[in-house]
Amino acid sequence: MTATILDGNALAKKLRADFKTRAEALLASHGTRPGLAVILVGEDAASQVYVRNKVNACAQAGFHSEKILYAPDVEPQRVFSRIAELNADPKIHGILVQLPLPKHFDSDAVLKAICPGKDVDGFHAENVGALMQGHPRFIPCTPYGVMKFLAEAGIDLKGKEAVILGRSNIVGKPMAMLLMQASATVTICHSQTRDLAFHTRRADILVAALGKPRFVTAGMVKPGAVVIDVGINRLPDGKLCGDVDFAAVSEVASAITPVPGGVGPMTITMLLANTLEAAEREAR
């Protein structure tokens, strides 16, 4: 079997064209342009690339955006007071603080400082709670992008075995909630899971979000499974690769996302979706 490749760039392009139309309509009807502020602390090269991609995506969709950069040793108080200004700024509908933050920051405290109505990452404790209670206000962008992929591919989740590798707050945990709400039977595996392959081989839907290059091999995948690769790993030669051994697993799976060009572009797309949604809510 050779798997269908789920093309994140193509789906992202289609959705972003729709967002651009909606943004133009909002501007015409209410004079509001969706606005995103992205805060980056430190000089990590990969983070700088992601932040630039987010700002460029905003420009292409006709959104306003602001990039706010701080040195790695910045006094946290300066970041908190900037967040307070952005919370009150009518041009800004979404605020994103790029993670991870330097060690002298309390990340939970920073995320909680963002007004929940502008928390387009969906990381504020209040929004995490709303997601768990089944009435999400902002769905975290990466799991949201995965759900869009599955919907676009016409994959029915009801009663399916979904296995997630990784239990992070930004991917694994919210991914589990969304798949459960879509009536899949969900298993979360992590670094202490015994006999990982036992679990992964049962999966109809396998989501890899553990951050280990090419960790998922063909022998760990049930023939015909749908494999979603959330990993973004940079190899010593500078190339990107996912958590899945793409070449081998695509011979076993029925559908698979590539890296690059899979979940990554969809993460940024759903950030635009949440920012647009925030702006539309305010106009209502």
Ligand X SMILES: Nc1nc(=O)c2c([nH]1)NC[C@@H]1CN(c3ccc(C(=O)N[C@@H](CCC(=O)O)C(=O)O)cc3)C=[N+]21
Q: Is 167 annotated as a binding residue?
A: yes
Residue 3 or 38 having the CB closest to ligand X: 38
Candidates 141, 165, 182, 208; binder of ligand X (CB under 6 A) is 141
End-to-end CA, the chain = 49
Minimum distance from residue 158 beta carbon to ligand X (Å) = 28
Does residue 121 carry a catalytic annotation?
yes
For ligand X, the binding residues in 146-205 under the rule CB under 6 A are none
Q: Could you tell me which residues come within 8 angstroms of residue 52 by beta carbon, excluding any fewer than 6 positions away?
A: 67
DSSP state of 244: B
Whether cis (ω within 30° of 0) applies to the bond prior to 260 is yes
DSSP state of 216: B
Q: Rounded CA gap, 235 and 79, in Å?
A: 32
Minimum distance from residue 67 beta carbon to ligand X (Å) = 14
Q: Please identify which of the residues 118, 119, 121, 204 carries the catalytic annotation.
A: 121
For ligand X, the binding residues in 214-233 under the rule CB under 6 A are 232
Q: Is 52 annotated as a binding residue?
A: no
Which among 14-22, 178-186, 208-216, 253-261 is the span making contact with ligand X, rule CB under 6 A? 253-261
Q: Rounded CA gap, 214 and 234, in Å?
A: 11
Does residue 156 carry a catalytic annotation?
no
Q: Please identify which of the residues 98, 148, 160, 245 carries the catalytic annotation.
A: 98
Residue 119 or 280 having the CB closest to ligand X: 119
For ligand X, the binding residues in 45-104 under the rule CB under 6 A are 49-50, 53, 96-99
Q: Is 39 annotated as a binding residue?
A: no
Does residue 18 carry a catalytic annotation?
no
Candidates 176, 268, 276, 278; binder of ligand X (CB under 6 A) is 268
Minimum distance from residue 27 beta carbon to ligand X (Å) = 25
| 3-class secondary-structure state, position 47 | helix
Q: Rounded CA gap, 149 and 11, in Å?
A: 8
Element (H, E) at 206: strand 205-208
Whether cis (ω within 30° of 0) applies to the bond prior to 90 is no
Q: Rounded CA gap, 194 and 47, in Å?
A: 33
Residue 12 or 221 having the CB closest to ligand X: 12
Minimum distance from residue 8 beta carbon to ligand X (Å) = 6
Q: Cα-flanking dihedrals φ and ψ of residue 150, to 5°?
A: -65, -40
Q: Is 256 annotated as a binding residue?
A: no
Contact string 117-136 vs ligand X (x = CB under 6 A): ----x---------------
CA triple 178-164-1, angle to 5 deg: 105
Q: Rounded CA gap, 130 and 143, in Å?
A: 15
Q: Rounded CA gap, 131 and 181, in Å?
A: 10
The residue ranges that bind ligand X (CB under 6 A) are 49-50, 53, 96-99, 121, 141, 232, 240, 259-261, 264-265, 267-268
Annotated binding residues for NADP(+), as ranges? Answer: 166-168, 232
Q: Which residues are catalytic?
A: 54, 98, 121
